[in-house]
Amino acid sequence: MVFKHKKDPLIFQGKKKSKKYFEGWYFKQVSFDLKDIVSIIPGISINSADSHSFIQIIYSYDVDGYKNLKTQYYRFSVEDFKSTDKPFSLKIGNNTFRNEGIELNLNNGEFLIKGNICLSDFTKINRNILSPDAMGYFSYFPFMECYHDIISMSHKLKGVISVNNKVIDFKDGKGYIEKDWGTSFPNEYIWLQSNHFEGNEASIMFSLAHIPFIGASFQGFICNLIINNHEYRFATYNKSKIKNVSYSDNFLEIYIDKDEFELSIKAVVCRDSGVLRAPRKGAMDILIKEGLSGTVEIRLLKNSKIVFEGEANPCAIEMMYGKE
């Protein structure tokens, strides 16, 4: 199963799981004018008390220059969850997710979401035997609490959906896809992602977490940065080091070293965050907050010379770190 996942990270990993298990896909869509952002999270929760499948929605929209954000949790039975490997297809109720696109037919009496989004030209991460996915060699260990992978750092969008009769056109927009599976989310973590650096073809995903490991724990991190089709990977497993992390008054600073490279990340965390559900021992009973309209500035140096610096807006950010 491990090697099957390496060939196609999108496919469902939990076919043999019967207890304390979750799996979720994260599809983020940003309209060309940046006014509408819709993240869609289909998944499944398997546990003794409340097994079910679900689709979570986080929707950020602009009204007279002000950002608004709403979240929704659509609940389905386990039997409503169906997946195939070749070609990849995930169906939950009347909603379908494929490599080529997404079809939505959601209605819970409060939020009606319908439409189709086409996905193309995925920007994939580099993979090899020692680093088969975003988690590096840690992905080979069968006892990790949570596994994480990146499907596409950036890709093209087209198509239209309606949210309560408001039409959102994703023509020339940008998307991002990742996924998680295992038993539980980390107790503490930071996650941010953006592919909207002004005037540049660049994208970033950063994740830091306290990770249980063989009776102890460690602080692990992944930062994948793609600039003009060149990937820079900073991670615990490739001898990168976080020199400092600070978070105060919605301002986050991170400094990372790896060999001749230095990376600084400075982010303003979104105040318009919304509540999502996250897994603990397979059950979706943790409440977390995610915002979609933060900003991030990065600066990459090689031998003290600037390789890249830029600001991205919008930036998705989750903070479950320290007192936050």
- Note the pLDDT tens digit of each residue in 63-107: 888 899 999 999 999 999 999 999 999 999 999 999 999 999 999
| Contact (Cβ atoms closer than 8 angstroms) between residue 309 and residue 203 | no
The band of 7, judged by pLDDT with boundaries at 50, 70 and 90, is low
CB 309 within 8 A of CB 301: no
State whether residue 299 is helix, strand or coil: strand
- Segment 108-112 mean pLDDT: 94
DSSP letter string over 155-180? Answer: EEEEEEEEETTEEEE-TT-EEEEEEE
pLDDT band at 213; cut points 50, 70, 90: confident
Q: For residue 147, give every residue at least 6 positions away whose Cβ sits within 8 Å of its Cβ, in sequence order, or none.
A: 13, 135, 139, 180, 181, 182
Average pLDDT over residues 146-159: 98
DSSP-assigned letters across all residues of 26-72 = EEEEE-TTSSEEEEEEEEEEE-SS--EEEEEEEEEEEETTEEEEEEE
Question: Across residues 183-188, what is the average pLDDT?
Answer: 94
3 state DSSP class of 138: helix
Q: Is the pLDDT of residue 125 over 80?
A: yes
Distance CA 103, CA 111 (A): 16
Give per-residue burial for 172-195: e unless 16+ CB within 10 Å, then b. ebbbbbbbbbbbbbbebbbbbbbb
CA 225 to chain centre: 14
pLDDT value of position 6: 56
- What pLDDT, on the 0 to 100 scale, is given for residue 1? 44
Encoded tokens for 126: 């580099």
Tokens for 46?
């398997």
pLDDT at 39: 98
Return the closest-CA partner of residue 55 out of 46, 71, 42. 42
Query: How high is the mean pLDDT of the chain?
Result: 94
For tokens 């941010």, the residue is 192
Lowest mean pLDDT among 5-14, 62-71, 135-144: 5-14
Residue % of the chain over a pLDDT of 70: 97
Closest by CA to 205, choosing from 307, 312, 88, is: 312
pLDDT at 247 over 50: yes
SS3 78: helix
Q: How far apart are CA 79 and CA 92, in angstroms?
A: 9
The residue-averaged pLDDT of 194-215 equals: 92
**Residue 157 backbone class (left: φ over 0; alpha: ψ -120 to 50; beta: rest):** beta
Which of 142-151, 198-207, 211-220 has the least mean pLDDT?
Answer: 211-220
Give the model's confidence band at 8: pLDDT under 50 very low, under 70 low, under 90 confident, else very high. confident
Q: How confident is the model at residue 218 (pLDDT cuts 50, 70, 90)?
A: confident
Average pLDDT, integer, range 284-307: 97
Q: Given CA atoms 164, 39, 26, 201 in this order, what sign does their dihedral have?
A: positive
Rounded Cα gap, residues 143 and 257, in angstroms: 29
Find, among 262, 247, 258, the residue nearest to 307 by Cα.
Answer: 262
pLDDT at 284: 98
Q: Which of 40, 280, 23 lies closest to 159, judged by CA? A: 40
Query: Is residue 116 exposed (0-12), middle (13-18) or buried (19+ Cβ within 10 Å)?
Result: middle
Question: Which range among 139-148, 212-221, 241-250, 298-307 shows the weakest confidence by mean pLDDT?
Answer: 212-221
* pLDDT the model gives residue 3: 47
